[in-house]
Amino acid sequence: MKKLFKGILDFQSEDFEAHRELFRDLKSSQNPHTLFIGCSDSRVVPTLITKTDPGELFLVRNVANIVPPFHMSDRFVATASAIEFAILSLEVDTIVVCGHSNCGGCYALNQSPETLQHMPNLLKWLEIIREVPDRVTRLMKGDSAAEREWITEEVNILVQMENLLSYPFILERVLAGLLKVLGWYYIIETGEVFNFNDETGHFEIVE
């Protein structure tokens, strides 16, 4: 915990000082260009991997970078409300769904529900993507756990990109050419990012 408090002081004396003007400009408004939907995983740091500054990315992070399909709800809907605000109020022109290697949320999909019984909210959350394992099985060429892992992580990204289009205001903007939806697969141990190319149907390395 000490590390966190020392971090605040270091931030103020080093990073904040270096970007004093930027923070002053951001004092009363934000104008991010991108809604970035990523996993809560501690190893995925959106501003680091995109080298962006405060004010550039509007972030949604949850377990397994999931976008619940559009529906009106009387429940508490954190992800959907952040999506509404980013598109309808901040008017971002890009949405990134960023999955990653070694994702615990995706791994859990391939385990029996009993292993998550003690985390009932997480179990419920992952129900949103319960279609993923079947799609993965249809795509697998071999039967190794490693292949299942990375295909699960990639298919999960595609499902969230599809779910985004179930939001009427997103579909409308995408069709009008006002909004772009990107799917990224980030590899933790190499720093590589693979961008989904909807013409080839493959994730291709960004270089």
Residues that bind Zn ion (CB under 5 A): 39, 41, 103, 105
Residue closer to Zn ion (CB basis): 87 or 155: 155
* Angle between helices 132-139 and 145-164 in degrees, nearest 10: 120
Task: State in angstroms the smallest separation of the CB of 12 from Zn ion.
Answer: 31
Extract the tokens encoding 138.
């249809």
Residue that the structure tokens 């006002």 belong to = 178
Task: State in angstroms the smallest separation of the CB of 104 from Zn ion.
Answer: 6
Bridge partners of 126, per DSSP, are none
Residue closer to Zn ion (CB basis): 100 or 173: 100
Residue closer to Zn ion (CB basis): 60 or 103: 103
**Residues labelled as active-site residues:** 39, 41, 43, 100, 103
Using alpha carbons, list the distances in angstroms from residue 149 to 31, 74, 127, 137, 189.
36, 34, 18, 11, 15
Tally DSSP H helices, then E strands, for the chain: 10, 6
Task: State in angstroms the smallest separation of the CB of 105 from Zn ion.
Answer: 5
Name the residue type at position 165.
Answer: L
Distance CA 25, CA 102 (A): 38
Residue closer to Zn ion (CB basis): 17 or 127: 127
Task: State in angstroms the smallest separation of the CB of 16 from Zn ion.
Answer: 30
> Do residues 147 and 61 lie in contact, with contact meaning Cβ atoms separated by under 8 Å?
no
